[in-house]
Amino acid sequence: MGTMLFARGIPFDVSFDGVNTTQPEVIEQIHREYIAAGAELIETNTFGANAIRLAAYGLADRVREINSRGVRIAREAREVAGETAFVGGSIGPVGEALEPIGPLSLLDARRAFRDQAEALLERGVDVLVLETFTDLREILEAMRVARSVSNLPVIAHVSFSEDLHIGSGEDPATVARALERAGADVVGLNCGVGPRSALEALRAMRGATALPLSIQPNAGLPSLVGGRTVYVATPEYFANMAQSFVAAGASVIGGCCGTTPEFIRAMRIGLRESVTPIERISFIAPSVPEVGAAPVEDDVTDANTLARKIARGDFVVSVEIDPPRGLNPRKALDGAVAMRDAGADCINIGDSPMATVRMSALGLAMLVRREAGIEPIIHCTPRDRNLMALQSDLLGAHANGVRNVIAITGDPPRAGAVSRATAVWDVDSVGLIAMLKRFNQGIDVAGKSIGRRASFLVACAVTPVAADLTREMDRLRQKIEAGADFIMSQPLWSMEQLETFLERAGDLPIPHVLGILPLESAAHAELLHNEVPGMVVPDDVRVAMRRAGENGRAVGLELAAQFIEQARTKVQGVYIITSYGHYDVALDLVRGLRQATA
C-alpha cells in the first residue's frame, strides 16, 4: 500500500492511514487493482492506524474512524470489483519500543492494539493480519488482544533481517512455535527481506510448526535511485519464486514493499501453470475460486457488432419490434429471427411504448440476444424509474450483454392506461445520456466507481419536424455534448423533409440513422399526421395513400423503399418502424436493402 500511495503522489510525511478519510477513492482504486490482478485477500490500509502512531500526525483521537473507513473502503472495492476476496484487517507494531528498551509499557501497547482491533472488527473484516513485527513480545501481546476480542482467524507475520532473526533476537523456529502457542491460525513473515531469504525463513518455520504458513517478502532489497526507493526484483522473478513458496509449504502467498499488482498477476499466472494445485487452508470458504482459476476479466471487448459497424461507417439497418403486452414473447422472437435472416443489423425494442404496460425492453432484449442471436438496442426512458432504479437496471443490462441504448425522455402516462401510474423523470434524456457515458468512464452518477469501464453504445433521438425546431436543435446539441454516439430520428417520408432538417442541423458530428415508418393505409397516414406528436406526413404522401385505396400497404411500402434509396447517401442507416405488428413489411424493406448492397 505504501508503494502504491507514494507512486500516486502521496508524500511520506503524511499519515498513509489518514488517506482513508482524505482521499478514499485513491485507496479503493488500489484495492481494485490488486483484486483485478488476482488477489484473493486484500489488506485494509490500517497498518499504522493505532493511537500511538497516529499521534505523530495529530490523529490519535480518530483511531476508530480511520480503521472503520479502511474496512469500509476495502469492502466497497470488493463489491465494486464483483470478485470473491477476503478483507484482512491490517495491524502493525505500535511504533515505539517496549520497556525496558523503550518508553512504552505493555499495557499501553495492549490498549492501542485493542482499540484498533475492535474498530476493524466492528466494520466486518474477515481475518486479522498482524504484520511486520520485529519484537516477539509485542506480537504476542497483539495476539493475546486479537484472541480476547474475536474468534476470527489471525495471520501473524514477523519481519526477519538478512541473518534470519527478528529484532528481538529470535530465529524462525522459535517465532513459529511461540505464535502457535499464542493461538495464531497462520504464521509467517512479511517485509524485511527479498524472496530468497524469505524462503529460507519459511522452510525453517515449516520444521517447527504444522500450522499453515504465509509468506509476503519485499520485491528484493531496496536501493536509492534519484532520491527514490527502488526495489530490484521483477514480477517474473516473483512468479518463479511463488512455486518455490508452495513447495516449501506456504498456503498464503503475497508481497510487501515494492510488489505492485503486476507482481500479484505474475504469481497467479505462475501458480496456475504449476503442476500441483494449492490446497486451501481450513478457514477459507469452499465457495472461493481455486488459485488456478483466472479472475473475471473485463468484457468491454466483447463483440458488439452494431458498435463496430457504426464506427466503420457501415450503412446499418435496425428494425423495431414491440415487446409483448403479456407473458408470451414468441411473436417478437420470431420476428427478430426473421429480421436477422433477412439481414438486419439490430433490433430496436421500445420501453413501454406509448406509455402502456408491456414486457420490459431489457427482458425482451436478453431473450433476443440469447434466442434470436441478433444485437438488440433498447429504448430507455427515465419516466418510470428514479435515478437509483435507472442505474441499477442499466448495470444489469450491461452485465447481461445488452450494451446498445437509445436514451429518450418518454411519453407521459396516458390517463386510464395504468391506474394511478405517475411519471418520475429524475433526469431527462440528456441526463440519461450523461449517466451512460459516466458508466463508460467507470463511475456512477455520484462519482463512485462501478468496478471498470462500461461499454455502452448510446443513441439519442431527434424529431426532425418538431413544431419548435429551434428548441429541438438546441436539445440535439445538448445530447451530442452529453456524449451520444449516434442519432436515431423520428420517421420522415420525403427528401424535402430530410434536406430541410439536415440544412438546419448543419454538419452532424455523429452518425444519423433515419427513421422509416411504412404507411399501411390512408387512415393510418391521417392518424399519424393529426394525432401522433412529432410526426408530419407530407401532403403529397397522404394524397398518394388516399389514391391507393385498398392497395394502401403496397403503396406505403413502395414509397418507403423509394425514400430509403434517395436518402442512402445522406444518412448512415435506417431505423424501420412497423405498425400493428406487421413485420412482413419490414422484411421486404430489409431484403431489398441487402440485395441492393450485395
Give the CATH number, domain containing residue 7: 3.20.20.330
Q: Do 438 and 387 form a contact (C-beta atoms < 8 A)? A: no
Q: Domain end: 95, 130, 152, which one?
A: 152
pLDDT of residue 287: 33
pLDDT of residue 299: 42
Q: Do 27 and 44 form a contact (C-beta atoms < 8 A)? A: no
Looking at the chain, the whole-number percentage of residues with pLDDT higher than 70 is: 91
Q: Is 62 a domain residue?
A: yes
pLDDT tier at 224 (50, 70, 90 boundaries)?
A: low
Q: Is 450 a domain residue?
A: yes
What CATH number did the domain enclosing 523 receive?
3.20.20.220
**What's the grid cell of residue 179?**
505464535
Domain extent at residue 433: 314-597
Q: What are φ and ψ of residue 61, in 5° steps?
A: -90, 10
Q: Domain end: 129, 152, 175, which one?
A: 152
Q: For the whole model, what pTM was predicted?
A: 0.66
Q: Is 195 a domain residue?
A: no
Query: Closest Cα to residue 575, out of 585, 586, 584, 566?
Result: 586
Q: Domain end: 152, 182, 215, which one?
A: 152
**Three-class DSSP labels, 260-290:** CHHHHHHHHHHHHHCCCCCCCCCCCCCCCCC
Mean pLDDT of the 572-579 span: 93
Query: Closest Cα to residue 360, out of 368, 351, 369?
Result: 351
Q: Which 8-state DSSP code applies to residue 468?
A: S
Q: Is 83 a domain residue?
A: yes
Q: Is 282 a domain residue?
A: no
Number of domains in the chain: 2
Q: Is 583 a domain residue?
A: yes
Per residue in 445-473, pLDDT (tens digit) is: 888 888 889 999 999 999 999 989 999 99
Q: Is 218 a domain residue?
A: no
Mean pLDDT of the 278-305 span: 41
Per residue in 306-360, pLDDT (tens digit) is: 999 999 999 999 999 988 888 889 989 999 999 999 999 999 998 876 667 789 9
Matching residue, cell 461507417: 313
Mean of all residue pLDDT scores within the chain: 89
Which residues, in sequence order, are CB contacts of 286 under 8 Å at separation 6+? 280
Q: Do 175 and 146 form a contact (C-beta atoms < 8 A)? A: no
Q: Is 486 a domain residue?
A: yes
Mean pLDDT of the 399-406 span: 95
